[in-house]
Amino acid sequence: MSARPYRSVLYIPGSKERALEKAMGLAADAIIFDLEDAVAPDEKPAARALLARVLMDRDFGNRARIVRINGFDTEWGRADAEAMDVAIARGARIDAILIPKVNRAADLDAVAQVVPGADLWAMMETALGMLNSAEIAAHPRLKGMVMGTNDLAKELGSRFRTDRLAMQAGLGLCLLAARAHGKVIVDGVYNAFKDEAGLRAECEQGRDMGFDGKTLIHPAQLEIANAAFAPSDSELDLARRQIAAFDAAKEAGQGVAVVDGKIVENLHVVTAQALIAKAEAIAAMAD
């Protein structure tokens, strides 16, 4: 799993030049430049051309650049992919192509052929996608998964609940698949962008479940997501003490240590080291 942080993954419409310019100064770990849901059908060709130009001409710093194309089952999907491939050949840095409504691993193959120079990410937003999440995560070109909870709720016919009870089966399946195959996975959006308490609670739930970060629909959500998915000072302090205690135990010929009354084994040290690496990667983003 990558140490690069994906605490906040912000959707930006590919058709809005001002929004694209503003994104260069936002504190997002990653940006999804959206050519799909955020762009009206009659605007899609112009948005595609605009985004390709912006990604060739503008510097988005350390932020991961992810382009969500339209599906290949639409009239725009293949043209989106071809345009991004040309942009990459002309020097644009596009880290990943995000494919909507991935139902099975084979859905990735056609896009992989058209855009060989970028990693692939999959939108996990259908019931069939949930059931096939393990084979999707195992695809050799796939690097990340994005939960599409709005579309999933529509397909399930579920009601909104603050505990996201209806989402738990799908979220859990995708998390297991991502972790089994070492892929990044980020949680779905929180629609009420002015509800800070609700966003914070859902971010904390996602972090507790194991997600790497959260997709966001508004810049006002960035600060909360960045804080929720970053290691806290207390977590880092514990991680450092666990590593030090375990090293001391090994020098004494012992296989375990005790910190704060709890056993520390090698698996805890691996987790602690990953937490510190994540904090270092977050700090590097600000440089």
Q: Do residues 241 and 223 both lie within one domain?
A: no
Q: Do residues 177 and 255 both lie within one domain?
A: no
Asked if residue 3 belongs to a domain, the reply is no
Indicate the residue type of 96. A
Asked if residue 249 belongs to a domain, the reply is yes
Number of domains in the chain: 2
* Domain around 242: 233-285
Q: What is the pTM of this model?
A: 0.94
Q: Do residues 265 and 224 both lie within one domain?
A: no
Q: Do residues 237 and 173 both lie within one domain?
A: no
Summarised one tens digit per residue, pLDDT across range 240-266 is 999 999 999 999 999 899 999 999 999
- Measured distance CA(255)–CA(203) in Å, rounded: 36
Q: Do residues 166 and 69 both lie within one domain?
A: yes
**Domain CATH for 217:** 3.20.20.60
Q: Do residues 179 and 280 both lie within one domain?
A: no
Q: Do residues 70 and 149 both lie within one domain?
A: yes
pLDDT of residue 287: 67
Residue range 111-127: mean pLDDT, rounded:
97
Q: Do residues 189 and 68 both lie within one domain?
A: yes
Structure tokens at 140: 């050799």
Decide if pLDDT at 217 tops 60: yes
N-to-C CA span, the chain: 22
Decide if pLDDT at 285 tops 90: no
Q: Do residues 196 and 68 both lie within one domain?
A: yes
Q: Are 130 and 155 in contact (CB under 8 A)?
A: no
Summarised one tens digit per residue, pLDDT across range 87-101 is 999 999 999 999 999
Mean per-residue pLDDT over the chain, rounded: 95
Asked if residue 86 belongs to a domain, the reply is yes
Count the residues in the chain. 287
Q: Do residues 178 and 265 both lie within one domain?
A: no
